[in-house]
Structure 1
Amino acid sequence: MMVTRRIVRTTSKLAAYALFAFIVIFFLDRNFRLLPNAVHEYMPQHHHGLIIIDITIAQCSTVNIFSSCKLDPEVWHRVEKDLYLDQAWTSSAYVHVRRKKEEELTANDKVVVDVTVGRLDPSTGVKGQADVRWESRPGGLWILRSAKPNASDSKKAITAVDVLFGDDAVEVRDGWQLQNTPLLLDANTEIPVPHITVRRGSHEETAKPQPRVKDNGKFKIMQLADLHLSTGVGRCRDAIPDEYEGGKCLADLRTLDFVSKLLDDERPDLVVLSGDQVNGDTAPDAQTAIFKYAQLLIKRKIPYVSIFGNHDDEGGTLPRAGQMALIEQLPYSLSAAGPDDIDGVGNYYVEVLAQGTSKHSALTIYLLDTHSYSPDERQFSGYDWIKKNQIDWFRQTASSLKKKHKEYTHIHMDLAFIHIPLPEYRDVENPFVGGWREGVTAPTFNSGFRDALVEQGIVMVSCGHDHANEYCMLSTDEEKQRPELWMCYAGGAGFGGYGNYEGFVRTVRFFDIDMNEARIQTYKRLEYGDTEKRIDLQIIVDGGHVQPPMEDA
């Protein structure tokens, strides 16, 4: 009997994997990115002008081939997230919604105007609720539909439904509301619990902020590298100290507390998320992890940009294109997928305008996708590299902007951020400031991006990836012995990623820019120990020129 169950379970999983593989192949383009239709089908925002007229949950057994979690697709739209996160041995469950365009509502259609979760009828014992008719659905879900048919009040009508996971889940999208009580499912307690979240009214595009140098000529960038956030609170790795505020270290909570403190202390004008925000193998729902860091920035109204690391989409539930499509829509996000005819997702630049009402750019920040693992492991083992068409795009873009940048009355400066370090980061002959604790896991193939950066006058590039490295290295012209480019590491900030090198303490790097002097100084802040001190304070650019290391650094 046990053997039969295993065979049925294995057969059903193989069929599911085959179907998934077909869907992936069908919807992927030549660069292994989801095509727009596939992205939008996954995304919870749905189509504009749709009204929800019913919600339910379909549960099924993975060992019963006659059981299905797919309701009639002509009637129901399924939110493509297993409420058990594909971690239950025998069960799956999915939220389904019935939706119609507002102009297609009939006299018999009742619009969903509220949802809640609980074991008891929400109207029980509540004064003035005798005539309110809540309708019960599986999983402890209750829905309230309009008393009158064809009522689609834009302020009350629910227009989209989604699911987030874990007791620490947060909602950051405008017009959305998260149900604090999780759905009542019979699941393993280690699986992050699902929470229904709904949107009311129409979806409006969020206005994008324009970064600008402050009136005093200052602009500060905070680089967050390798947050490694999970679905749920995550698991701490190599924490120093092991305990946190007298209790067990919970990775995401401790990481976000660290970041929150620095946001309040340093008040950056822009945050760069330089990859591995999501810890792929512990984040079966990447969206939940993304919202956790986004909430900190949105709440403080701080613009932010992001690129991907090798772990962000490692879980496979939401590819880079899908993640970027989500991030692009979030408040205060300046992130962009970039041109779709070059390799990678997240090749773009951001202009920081000069102070006052100037329309001239004072700073240009380039962000490029360094991909993940080598596509040619036999010849070039390890990690992938920035491709030729990306470098060509960078060169063309930087060259085309130079004429416009010369209109700025001060010295314009260009910076760059990547995730995986360049091969030149491992040059032991170059002077550096800060901790070099582990091997540099740069690609073994050198595609020449460092030379392109120097050619286009980039004064600084900063990466993440190697958590315990947090140095800045000066790259020079060997013949003229002239400083050309600072190459920095941010150091790892997240407790969900490794940190077991010589007592490494989680770190965040800052770039404090003074446009009055065309000066950039950089320093780090630590999570533990000298938490108030600015570590390895170093002027790396002055008068718009790359500077050698300070003698007392």
Structure 2
Amino acid sequence: MTRRIVRTALQLTTLITFTFLVVYILDSKYRVLPNKIHGYMPSHHPGLVVTDVTIAKCTSLNPFSSCDLDTSKWHRIDKELYLGKSWTGRAYLHVARKHEEELTSQDHVVMDISVGRLNPTSKKDEDLWEQRPGGLWIKRSASRGSSDSKKAITDVDVLFGDDATEAREGWAITGTPFLLGGSPVYSVHLTVRRGTPAEIKKPKPRVKDNGRFKILQIADLHLSTGVGVCREPVPDGYNGGPCEADPRTLDFVSKILDDEKPDLVILSGDQVNGDTAPDAQTPIFKFASLLIKRKIPYAAIFGNHDDEQTLSREAQMAIMETLPYSLSLTGPADIAGVGNYYIEVLAKGSSDHSALTIYLLDSHAYTPDERNYPGYDWIKPNQIEWFKNTAAGLKDKHREYTHKHMDIAFVHIPLTEYADPKLPRLGNWTEGVTAPVFNSGFRDALVEEGILMVSAGQISDHCNDYCSVSLEGEEQDPALWMCYGGGVGFGGYAGYDEYVRRLRLFEIDFNEARIFTWKRLEHGDTESRIDHQMLVEGGKPHYEKPKKPVIPETGEEDTEST
């Protein structure tokens, strides 16, 4: 009887352990619970100070092992430090914090924090550092219950990868990567904030005194957690070494930012390469830090890859909304998608009149009806209604501008009309257009509301970079320019015909109501502007129809040639 009980207990324990392992393995593969990084949101804790920090580890081999600490004291930062890549263990950073007015005589406040193998205490440092797991060291206030919130640690977080950078105001990465053991796939960095959160003021884009305004469109960065892997780089390698996708991509973007000095940057989707970015916050900070450093306002929409196997669009937009120089907005909650909004560019001088309105819409990702409309999703009816109502509501105010007010738009997935082979175009058309099969009529709405130009990200057309004019009426007059941004990220594919990564720029001349566009290359003729063309003249879409060649013998047009 005793043996039977023991055998049954062993079988039950084995079953529980096996079940736990299966669940954990599935979690690691599909990026779901217990790794709650998908639900991670930025932390804002005004008035709080940190009283302790530690790391809790647990093992997958023991079904009763837990990474949770006493929730009455500890708050877990919901980023699993191995990012679900370890089969045998998990680890989480925990922080204890209190409101300053609630501190008791038993509380010490964390005044400094570091990560490393050696005790940071110096000979001149009378305060002793306390050791915590993972190479974590904290130094707390000497007197209990006291706090100086301007110097105290008020929040902590983690970022991943050797190229991790901090973009938030008042935050900084400290010390070496955590010493976790178990060979984490990505280095894990502690980042801390001192003092109270800085107030982030939204910039107000304005036309320069010369009457011009320049926009850089960055399409398909495809940034990863870590340095990423280059796909079809031209040429292979970089700076005498192997090609690392994110550093090479960001070096290119940095060069164009410094050369062209844009007044605004539009990130038109697939900033994050979701399936290689289990922590989406890390790549967001990588591109944002470039723009924050140069004090350039920027706005982002999402592509089809941004939220694959990583943070949701809502969580990513919540992060971007809080960053310096960001104009990104979640948009109306009752409208399909995340990131339907508009930006007003003010007239030059001190005027509060809008000279340019930029509409940004979420074009979603994959079709909800694969059987009838395979491929990619489309702009939804309530988005079109929101756009038309918004545009109509702004028109009276825009008429107060003494020059010609202009309107443009950006999406990620190209409109169905992009695929029309009969339309004139300038630039590369190297591969099939992955526009939605279902046409929801957004192009017609754009024309109806007087939008002059719409530019898409790359979706799966990384080697298409043309601008195509959509015609209307019996005279086939230009009604709307439809452009591609040009693929920039080395983490996304671009393998056709030795395609070189590129970026597109738009310059709006408000003196003549003109819009010009051109592209810049990452390799080869890197200093020249290629495919320079005028899209708008006198506040209307501009297109010069090519003239028919003349028959030399008669001087008449050769109507059979184009």
TM class, shorter-chain normalised? over 0.9
Report the alpha carbon displacement of residue 43 of structure 1 after superposing the two structures with TM.
2.4
Paired letter, 1:482: D
Q: For 1:397 and 1:324, how far apart are their aligned partners in 2?
A: 21
Whether 1:42 and 2:37 are equivalent positions in the alignment is: no
Contact 1:171 1:177 in 2 (8 A): yes
Report the alpha carbon displacement of residue 132 of structure 1 after superposing the two structures with TM.
1.3
- Which residue is 1:515 aligned to? 510
Paired letter, 2:254: S
Q: For 2:289 and 2:466, how far apart are their aligned partners in 1?
A: 29
Q: Which of the numbers 350, 353, 361 marks the counterpart of 1:368?
A: 361
Secondary structure (helix, strand or coil) at the match of 1:539 reads: strand
Report the alpha carbon displacement of residue 7 of structure 1 after superposing the two structures with TM.
5.0
Contact 2:24 2:34 in 1 (8 A): no
Contact 1:224 1:271 in 2 (8 A): yes
Q: Which of the numbers 540, 545, 559 marks the counterpart of 1:545?
A: 540
Residue by residue, what CA displacement relative to the aligned partner does 1:364-423 show, whole Å, maximum 9, x if unpaired? 000000001111111111111100000000000000000000000000000000000000
Which deviates the most, 62-71 or 411-420? 62-71
Secondary structure (helix, strand or coil) at the match of 1:95 reads: strand
- Which residue is 1:31 aligned to? none
Contact 1:433 1:549 in 2 (8 A): no
Contact 1:158 1:200 in 2 (8 A): yes
Distance 1:11 1:528, change over 3 A: closer
Contact 2:35 2:83 in 1 (8 A): no
Segments of 4+ moved more than 3 angstroms: 3-8, 11-24, 549-552
Cα root mean square deviation, aligned = 2.1
Q: Which of the numbers 280, 291, 301 marks the counterpart of 2:295?
A: 301
Q: Which of the numbers 93, 99, 102 marks the counterpart of 1:95?
A: 93
Secondary structure (helix, strand or coil) at the match of 2:470 reads: strand
Report the alpha carbon displacement of residue 178 of structure 1 after superposing the two structures with TM.
0.6
Paired letter, 1:356: G
Report the alpha carbon displacement of residue 67 of structure 1 after superposing the two structures with TM.
1.0
Residue by residue, what CA displacement relative to the aligned partner does 1:275-308 show, whole Å, maximum 9, x if unpaired? 0000000001000000000010000000000000
Secondary structure (helix, strand or coil) at the match of 1:163 reads: strand
Distance 1:390 1:11, change over 3 A: closer
Paired letter, 2:300: S
Whether 1:186 and 2:186 are equivalent positions in the alignment is: no
Contact 2:220 2:487 in 1 (8 A): yes
Aligned residues: 532
Q: Which of the numbers 53, 57, 62 marks the counterpart of 1:59?
A: 57
Secondary structure (helix, strand or coil) at the match of 1:485 reads: strand
Q: Which of the numbers 222, 227, 230 marks the counterpart of 1:233?
A: 227
- Which residue is 1:142 aligned to? 137
Secondary structure (helix, strand or coil) at the match of 1:58 reads: strand
- Which residue is 2:314 aligned to? 321
Contact 2:28 2:85 in 1 (8 A): no
Q: For 1:345 and 1:499, how far apart are their aligned partners in 2?
A: 27
Report the alpha carbon displacement of residue 460 of structure 1 after superposing the two structures with TM.
0.2
Report the alpha carbon displacement of residue 205 of structure 1 after superposing the two structures with TM.
2.5
Paired letter, 2:439: N
- Which residue is 1:263 aligned to? 257
Report the alpha carbon displacement of residue 47 of structure 1 after superposing the two structures with TM.
2.5
- Which residue is 1:9 aligned to? 21
- Which residue is 2:498 aligned to? 503
Report the alpha carbon displacement of residue 14 of structure 1 after superposing the two structures with TM.
5.9
Q: Gapped runs of 5+ residues in structure 2?
A: 1-10, 548-562
- Which residue is 1:428 aligned to? 421
Distance 1:514 1:293, change over 3 A: same
Contact 1:48 1:203 in 2 (8 A): yes
- Which residue is 2:349 aligned to? 356
- Which residue is 2:123 aligned to? 127
- Which residue is 1:27 aligned to? none
Contact 1:226 1:497 in 2 (8 A): yes
Distance 1:175 1:15, change over 3 A: closer
Secondary structure (helix, strand or coil) at the match of 1:231 reads: coil
User: What's the TM-score, normalizing by structure 1?
Assistant: 0.93
Q: For 1:489 and 1:392, how far apart are their aligned partners in 2?
A: 24
Distance 1:387 1:247, change over 3 A: same
- Which residue is 2:324 aligned to? 331
Distance 1:180 1:462, change over 3 A: farther
Q: For 1:220 and 1:44, how far apart are their aligned partners in 2?
A: 31
Q: For 2:513 and 2:23, how far apart are their aligned partners in 1?
A: 64
Contact 1:524 1:535 in 2 (8 A): yes
- Which residue is 2:242 aligned to? 248
Q: For 2:64 and 2:485, how far apart are their aligned partners in 1?
A: 52
Which deviates the most, 400-409 or 146-155? 146-155
Contact 1:170 1:288 in 2 (8 A): yes
Secondary structure (helix, strand or coil) at the match of 2:248 reads: helix
Residue by residue, what CA displacement relative to the aligned partner does 1:70-114 show, whole Å, maximum 9, x if unpaired? 112122100000111111111110000111112111111100111
Distance 1:170 1:261, change over 3 A: same
- Which residue is 1:71 aligned to? 69
Q: For 2:60 and 2:431, how far apart are their aligned partners in 1?
A: 44
Report the alpha carbon displacement of residue 309 of structure 1 after superposing the two structures with TM.
0.3
Which deviates the most, 432-441 or 65-74? 65-74
- Which residue is 1:28 aligned to? none
Contact 1:205 1:329 in 2 (8 A): no
Q: Percent identity?
A: 63
Report the alpha carbon displacement of residue 23 of structure 1 after superposing the two structures with TM.
11
Q: For 1:8 and 1:53, how far apart are their aligned partners in 2?
A: 34
Residue by residue, what CA displacement relative to the aligned partner does 1:5-41 show, whole Å, maximum 9, x if unpaired? 75541144568999957999xxxxxxxxxxxxx99x7
Q: Gapped runs of 5+ residues in structure 1?
A: 25-37
User: What's the TM-score, normalizing by structure 2?
Assistant: 0.91
- Which residue is 1:176 aligned to? 171
Q: For 1:452 and 1:44, how far apart are their aligned partners in 2?
A: 36
Secondary structure (helix, strand or coil) at the match of 2:22 reads: helix
Paired letter, 2:351: S
